[in-house]
């Protein structure tokens, strides 16, 4: 019975395009590190599973405390900085690349914290990417 309620909740999230999960960047890194099913991410962030590529963006600026949003590349037009619904977003990395980098840090540096991974990815994006 409880499971049916969860499914109903997920359907409600899918239907409301403006009900994206609000999560800061550090928490998002932890979320991705422990994500078992990509479908959960599509529901949580109302991401377009049909998009050619999903882009992880930070609201307002590349900052550890910025809110994360995920957009289809079709919504960003490939721009690194863009506006949507009167909000500014800055591209971090494509979702697939973000997942791969987080996994690489976890496998290379056993016991690394989400904060350290988040810092490393931001530093890479700002200085090298």
Which stretch of DSSP H or E encloses residue 91?
strand 87-94
Q: Which two tokens mark 7?
A: 């499914």
Task: Count the neighbouring beta carbons within 10 Å of the beta carbon of residue 37.
Answer: 8
Contact 71, 89 (CB under 8 A): yes
| Whole-structure pTM value | 0.81
Total tally of structural domains belonging to the chain: 1
pLDDT digits (tens, 9 = 90+) for 98-113: 999 999 999 999 999 9
pLDDT digits (tens, 9 = 90+) for 62-106: 999 999 999 999 999 999 999 999 999 999 999 999 999 999 999
Mean pLDDT of all residues belonging to the chain: 85
pLDDT digits (tens, 9 = 90+) for 26-37: 999 999 998 888
Contact 57, 92 (CB under 8 A): yes
Query: Is residue 12's pLDDT more than 50?
Result: no
**CA 117 – CA 94 distance, rounded (Å):** 16
């Amino acid at each position: 019975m409880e499971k049916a309620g969860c499914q109903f909740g997920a359907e409600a999230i899918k239907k409301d395009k403006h009900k994206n999960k609000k999560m800061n960047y550090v928490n998002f890194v932890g979320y991705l590190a422990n994500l078992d099913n990509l479908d959960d991410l599509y529901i949580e962030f109302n991401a377009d599973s049909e998009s050619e590529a999903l882009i992880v963006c930070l609201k307002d600026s590349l900052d550890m405390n910025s809110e994360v949003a995920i957009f289809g590349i079709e919504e960003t037009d490939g721009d690194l900085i863009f506006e949507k619904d009167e909000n500014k977003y800055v591209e971090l990395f494509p979702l697939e690349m973000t997942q791969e980098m987080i996994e690489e840090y976890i496998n290379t540096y056993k016991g690394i914290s989400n904060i350290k991974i988040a810092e490393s990815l931001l530093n890479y994006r700002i200085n090298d990417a």
